[in-house]
Amino acid sequence: MGKKMGKKRQKIVLPPELPPEIPDEAVEVSDEDVQFVSENQEYTGFMSNLDTKTINKQVTRVADVKEDELESLYERRLKKKALDKETEKQGLEVDPVDALPVKTLDGKLHYRTVPKATQKSENEDKDEDNTNNKDAGTDASVVKRTKAEKRAQLKKMRKEAKKHSKEVAAVEDVEQIPHAEVLDEVRKDMTAEEANEKKKFRLAELGTALLTDPELNIKSLKEMLEISKDGDRDIVVLALKSLLAVFRDIIPGYRIRLPTEKEQEMKVSKAVKKMRFYESTLLSAYKAYIQKLIAIEKQDVYKRVAVRCICTLLEAVPHFNLRENLLAAVIRNISSEDDISRKLCCATVKSLFINEGKHGGEATVEAVQMIADLAKAHDCQLHPDSIEVFMSLTFDEDLGKHEAQDASSKFKSKNAKRKNLKEQKVLAANERKRTRKEMMSKTLEEVTAELKAASLATDVTERRRMQTDVLSAVFETYFRVLKHALKPRSEAGSSPELAGSHPLLTPCLNGIGKFCQLIDLDFMSDLMNFLRKLARSGNDSDGSSKDVSACLTVSERLQCCIVAFRVMRNNLDALNVDLQDFFIQLYNLIIEYRPGRDNGEILAEALKIMLCDDRQHDMQRAAAFIKRLATFSLYSGSAEAMAALVTLKHLLQKNVKCRNLLENDAGGGSVSGAIAKYQPYATDPNLSGALASVLWELNLLSKHYHPAVSTLASNISMLSTSDNQIHLSNKSPQQAFKELSLEQESFSVKVDPKNSNAKRGKGNASLKHNSMGPDLDLTVQVDENAVKSKLSEHYSLLHDIAENERLRRELAETTLSLNLHEQYKKQRKRRTK
């Protein structure tokens, strides 16, 4: 019993259990604990003597082991760890029966792995025993840890295990989420590419089906429109172009009129129903397509594609429905800043004007009226191409005069015959026959009216009405541009950048010159007044004219003179206009012309139409222009000088008395009567007194560097006053300018440096030109230093003169202001008294 009780007692008496593990973070020190420790310091005094450094220090050394053996011990441990890892890797096997492989995106196969349950062999056990026995001495010598150290180590291991598990879970989540996202993105990309390819193939299929059998596959238009709403730009562009090709091919040659409600209620055949369904579906799809083009035309990405589709569609089917919408989009971009869009729209409008047979002239009227409204809305601040398209218009001046007379005579003869037949039939036939014939005549009239409406040839009266509307809109635009050019600089434009600018004036003047024969005579006087004001120079006393002339260039003012003469020539029978003002402006503009800045072709055209045409000039005026052209030839370019000399020669050949200017006598030769004094700075050619001068400029021009100019000047100076025969040259100033212009000539000066110091006329330097027959031998002898010194003196003198003029103006303004101030003081004193 005692033994049994002892055994029981031994079983009952057990060591106390360890306190529950509480993490350090969960331990909280309360105020009561602090108070207890402070009150019982005699029990806690031993804690102040603890060595915290040795407690926290980890044991890293091995006891009773020498330093040389310690390194070998660490090496054996590392080798053992490496062997354990290799055995773990070798212990993996693949079971292809239980698990299928996984194929990755790059095409590799991965099989599931399972750890291989193997037992250690006897040799391994022996090796382990041997190693354990060998390491026993060393491990036995390791310092043993206390229970507190083991407890702390266990606690630390648990914490590390928890952290490691959390990190592994987080890493797995992070790895799973991006992997899934990447897979989704790749799938989306693959599906997007596949979808785009499918859409492209679908567009091709639908387009081919529609072109082969439009009536059967007309519903495919809606599907193509849905594809055009895709977000991908390439798909949208391809869909728009495909629809353009389809509509160009399947649109009929007539306008579609949808049936009314009454017509829909009526019973019709299957063919009529099928045709109505086809036309309504086509028209609705066409309307949706145009709305799509107009909507995306405002986006920069699709602007050019949309404009090209609109222009192509309008040019191909201008007779079809919704033409107004297409035309409005084209006219809106006719003055676009984008050069490609603007050129496309201008070419489309010109094709409408030229090919009026496609639309019967209605599109021309609408386009011209829209352009007129656009110019009015933008206050004539548009690109010149916007109204230059008017030059493509064609008008029939005597449209249908003879045809109307023949038709009226035939109509009268037919009416007379019909009356005779009716009288005979009324006398012979009864009422039934008369009613029957009346019904027949009505049906014939209806049939002829329908045939006339369906025929492509327009009625003469209708065509004349449309051309009248076009002319009124065109000249409304032209007169608006002229009025805008007459405004002063402060009112010329809505913004400071556009103030004083007239971009539409040049194409406006060109259009007036082309269509001036179609202008109503009631507006001729207003037109000539506008042109006279625009061409007026800045030397007039009128302040408004100075502002206007300052806004226009020399080329624009010359063009005004040209247009005035064209208008007068084309309406010579109905107009009686004095053109003296335009001669005055030309006389002054010749001096204001500057080569390189102004257009030489316009000057040559003005000389031709105003001076060289078959027209009798006053002797004083002709002499003034001869003198002015000779002076102009001295400082102008070779092409301008050639045009001026051709005009001068023409005037001398036509006016024999003006050849006295070639004489060297005092007073300009033997001219009977009183001779006015020559005034070279006069603004009026009739008051210049040019007959009292001499053409000394021809002597200088005969030594001109260009052989064509020098030869012509020499020929002019050889004209005799006794030769009364007129031999007018066939060459016009325009031809002379074109022949010697820089674009059409290849002129080079060749100098022989060996004989550069020889006397004039004996050198070997030659000036050769392709258009001239003989070669002229000249010698070039130039001292550059002398030329530089002379030029410097000349320009310094000019600078001093300009500076003196400026100082004089300032002095005059100062004295004027002082006089005004003195007058103000005197008036103020008088008022105070």
pLDDT (tens digit per residue) in 778-790: 334 456 777 777 7
Buried b (16+ CB within 10 A) or exposed e, 670-693: ebeeeeeebeeebeebbebbbbbb
Output the pTM of the full model: 0.62
Q: Mean pLDDT, to the nearest integer, of 27-47? A: 76
pLDDT band at 507 (very low <50, low <70, confident <90, very high): very high
For 633-681, write each residue's pLDDT tens digit.
998 888 999 999 999 999 998 888 888 888 765 444 445 455 667 887 8
The strand pairing partners of 595, in sequence order, are 598
Could you identify the residue written with the tokens 């490691």?
A: 164
Q: Examine the pLDDT at 326 and tell me if it is beyond 90.
A: yes
Give the pLDDT of residue 249: 92
Give the pLDDT of residue 389: 93
**What is the rounded CA–CA span in Å between residue 48 and residue 51?**
9
Give the pLDDT of residue 84: 66
Greater model confidence, 209 or 188: 209
Backbone φ/ψ region at 750: left (φ over 0), alpha (ψ -120 to 50), beta: beta
Q: C-alpha distances in angstroms, 510 versus 106, 516, 552, 600?
A: 71, 10, 16, 16
pLDDT band at 603 (very low <50, low <70, confident <90, very high): very high
Mean pLDDT, rounded, of the chain: 75
For 149-171, write each residue's pLDDT tens digit.
777 777 778 777 777 666 666 55
Which one, of 429, 428, 519, lies nearest residue 474 by Cα? 519
Rounded to a whole number of angstroms, the CA Rg of the chain reads: 53
Give the pLDDT of residue 573: 54
Give the pLDDT of residue 574: 55
Greater model confidence, 269 or 670: 269
Give the pLDDT of residue 133: 47
Q: Do 733 and 586 touch, CB atoms closer than 8 A?
A: no
For 114-125, write each residue's pLDDT tens digit.
555 544 444 444
Q: Mean pLDDT, to the nearest integer, of 576-585? A: 84
Give the pLDDT of residue 669: 46
State how beta strands 776-777 and 766-768 pair: antiparallel
Q: Examine the pLDDT at 6 and tell me if it is beyond 80.
A: no
State how beta strands 109-110 and 92-94 pair: unpaired
Amino acid identity of 327?
L
**What is the rounded CA–CA span in Å between residue 646 and residue 643?**
5
For 287-323, write each residue's pLDDT tens digit.
999 999 999 998 889 999 999 999 999 999 999 989 9
CA contacts within 13 A on the Cβ side of 537: 17
**What is the rounded CA–CA span in Å between residue 256 and residue 527?**
45
Please state the length of the chain: 833
Q: Examine the pLDDT at 606 and tell me if it is beyond 70.
A: yes
Q: Examine the pLDDT at 591 and tell me if it is beyond 60.
A: yes
Residue 358 class from Cβ within 10 Å (0-12 exposed, 13-18 middle, 19+ buried)?
middle
Q: Examine the pLDDT at 767 and tell me if it is beyond 50.
A: no
Q: Which two tokens stand for residue 710?
A: 């020098």
Q: Examine the pLDDT at 22 and tell me if it is beyond 60.
A: yes
Give the pLDDT of residue 19: 65
pLDDT band at 371 (very low <50, low <70, confident <90, very high): very high
- Here the contacts of 158-163 (C-beta below 8 Å, separation 24 or greater) are 158/21, 159/23
Helix or strand holding residue 210 (H, E): helix 147-212
Q: Which two tokens stand for residue 17?
A: 């259990």
Q: Mean pLDDT, to the nearest integer, of 418-441? A: 66
Greater model confidence, 745 or 581: 581
The strand pairing partners of 114, in sequence order, are 93
Greater model confidence, 50 or 247: 247
Helices (H), 552-670: 554-570, 580-592, 600-607, 619-635, 638-654
Greater model confidence, 554 or 141: 554
Give the pLDDT of residue 489: 55
Q: Which two tokens stand for residue 174?
A: 């992070």
Q: Which two tokens stand for residue 400?
A: 């249908």
In percent, the amount of the chain with pLDDT more than 90 equals 25
Residue 622 class from Cβ within 10 Å (0-12 exposed, 13-18 middle, 19+ buried)?
buried
Give the pLDDT of residue 208: 92
pLDDT band at 629 (very low <50, low <70, confident <90, very high): very high
